[in-house]
Structure 1
């Protein structure tokens, strides 16, 4: 067994373990789900077909396998390849990871198994922020509320997912949410929408969140962006072996050897103001199969807000009235995706100051009735032939 592990580590040293995408070019493609996971393969594919995808890179599933075969350590070549991946993002975005002046590069870290699985690590947004880069972000955007809102969200997500600051037995609410509620009642004598909190409020919450992390973990929240990134990648790999993921794999006969990939992507921001927003949608209605763009969006929100239920999203059709140009772009993307993937797609998108970005696409789940209608309609539209249907 030990011999096998050693030989495995040798092959991984010289192997390509980081696949980048961005600016119309990608190392991988949609057929590489076993190596890049479903999310990473589709991000590469969307980039290749010219869709507006923020640049990033995928750490392959082989690194996950190596991690468990070698006492939770990484192949020697990983750090240098990740640095090259970050440099590629910096070049495309014109920003610097961990910058203390100018616009800093912030990243989103997401897990990526071949198929989406419950129990896998949730998304971490705004990674790369610290006490210095948050000031740079504030100056670069001239938007203090936005900068501190991003930092507050990052500490909350990272604290929960990577550092394990979660509700204990006997606690009814997530500890970070409790801190927010207490602060709102203290300052505003009751509940106010998160979007009503000022820059000063967010700054105060950052302080309180850091104190909570220290109290619960005994450790100071990490200030070094590279330490943050390594921690997030480790959390993705660790989530592959958590109880929920293991139970799910057993039930559906998914081999543990498959492993998960890690996707690191340059942040785009749906929370910079009224010309920005985030949404999720199906290219057709997944309940009844009707050929209509079907989903939800929120103005001035990051992606997690849409599904978190903190604010009530609007139907995506209403985007046409609020952001007509972005909506028109989205309709073009919808057409391109269906033509290319020859199936109904389930997508995530962000609009930053009127510019559309695609964050994910996958084949959409659907009811049986919808599946029949999709197939019949797509044959009619000459997207697929009868054999495929």
Structure 2
């Protein structure tokens, strides 16, 4: 399977170059974009062996220009360099900011560990897939399996939001055996951990694997609904139902929502995937560093990205809301925003974002950096201007 081998190698060089050598991701992205354009395809999975070989050569050149050394080919050297990079990441800006904002002190955690494990591949052909699922809806808490998957892809494609995945319900038709195993696993893991789970999985040539599970990040509304429901289901007691909801997240229940009686007075720019509920208005900003600086000066900003990367997280704290043109409900932007209680819209494909010119076009309208917009994370709608808001309604579950 030469296509699989070359696809895996180009992915490895890109991730290794970024994490270990500190290469700017956009250098790799521009090579990939140009290669897809030259071959006349839109998806990475459609690139042929010849294109992938040329990408590998260019990727290695990018790394060698940065490091002034040949790209390492010895697996032992590669793994040692990767381990060192993970240990270094503990003091990276993103990790430091995250610990500060979440009050993770040295006595709670004073370092990180490194797991080395065998990899499984979702990019071995159309009998392989990868995805992310939540055992309950992360926005409203309803007991339903929610998530996305991609055929012939790796997990990073779903999480990074490089491609917008298919709804998990379609897996039942495309891969009935894997869907059945996934459904059973969701029930088993939720019962064991007594918390809604965020599960990453891969199917490699028909064989189903669980990569990881963790407590799902949910909106405040979803946390309250799941607390009430899980008490009724006898999964948890009333004391646990209260203590599992972070106090700071309850503030999100007090955030105002769009006044829908006034929306007709504002231009509707685009529609995307509603990823984290609530309304947010602010100045459109396309750069992470500018969003941080403006947010720290008490300017209300909406961070606009094509897709978000983990290193963009510091800007999430400084922004009122997040808007991306790519990605789905399982993407990095969606999950982190929900956990922070920040309104978020992802997969807004009608947005044509231009970082260099600091603008986006949507259905014939151009929004420049500095223009005001409003995002409705509950419906996925983007408006021009500042749409009025109203006080939120208290739900029955909150009263409970």
When residues 251 and 291 of structure 1 are mapped into structure 2, their CA distance, relative to the original with a 3 A threshold, is closer
Report deviation, 1:191.
5.5
Q: In 2, distance between residues paired with 1:184 and 1:331?
A: 35
2:157 pairs with one of 305, 315, 320: 305
Using the size of structure 1 for normalisation, the TM-score is 0.59
1:285 maps to: 137
Structure 2 contact 36–43 (Cα < 8 Å) conserved: no
Q: Normalization by structure 2: what TM-score?
A: 0.57
Of the candidates 84, 102, 107, which is equivalent to residue 234 of structure 1? 84
Which protein has greater RCO, CA pairs closer than 8 Å, 6+ apart? 1
Match of 1:360 in 2: 212
**Distance apart, 1:316 and its partner CA:** 0.9
Number of equivalences? 239
Residue 183 of structure 1 and its aligned partner are, at CA, apart by 3.2
Aligned-pair CA distance for 1:310: 2.5
In the alignment, the residues of structure 2 paired with residue 377 and residue 252 of structure 1 have an alpha-carbon distance, to the nearest angstrom, of 27
Q: Could you report, residue by residue, the CA deviation over 1:53-88 in whole angstroms, capped at 9, with x for unpaired residues?
A: xxxxxxxxxxxxxxxxxxxxxxxxxxxxxxxxxxxx
- Show the counterpart of 2:30: 178
Gaps of 5+ in 2: 242-400
Q: Spell out, residue by residue over 1:206-258, the C-alpha distance to the aligned partner (whole angstroms, 9 max, x if none).
A: 11111221122211111111111111111111111122322332333323462
On the 8 A contact 2:41/2:47 being kept in 1, the answer is no
CA contact (8 A) 1:284 1:291 kept: yes
1:149 equivalent to 2:7? Answer yes
Runs of 4+ in 1 over 4 A off after TM superposition: none
Structure 1 segment 191-270 matched on structure 2, within 5 A: 192-256=42-106, 258-270=110-122
What is aligned with 1:68?
none
Q: Shift in Å at residue 204 of structure 1?
A: 1.6
1:369 alignment counterpart: 221
Check the 8 A contact 2:135/2:144 in 1, yes or no: yes
What is the match of residue 337 of structure 1? Answer: 189
2 CA distance for matches of 1:249 and 1:284?
27
> SS in structure 1 opposite 2:117?
strand
Which structure features the higher share of strand residues?
2
Query: What SS does the aligned partner of 1:263 have?
Result: coil
CA distance, structure 2, for counterparts of residue 371 and residue 309 of structure 1? 24
- Is 1:322 equivalent to 2:322 in the alignment? no
SS of aligned partner of 1:360: strand
384 and 244 in structure 1: CA distance in 2 versus 1, 3 angstrom threshold? closer
User: Is the contact between residue 271 and residue 301 of structure 1 (CA under 8 Å) also seen in structure 2?
Assistant: yes
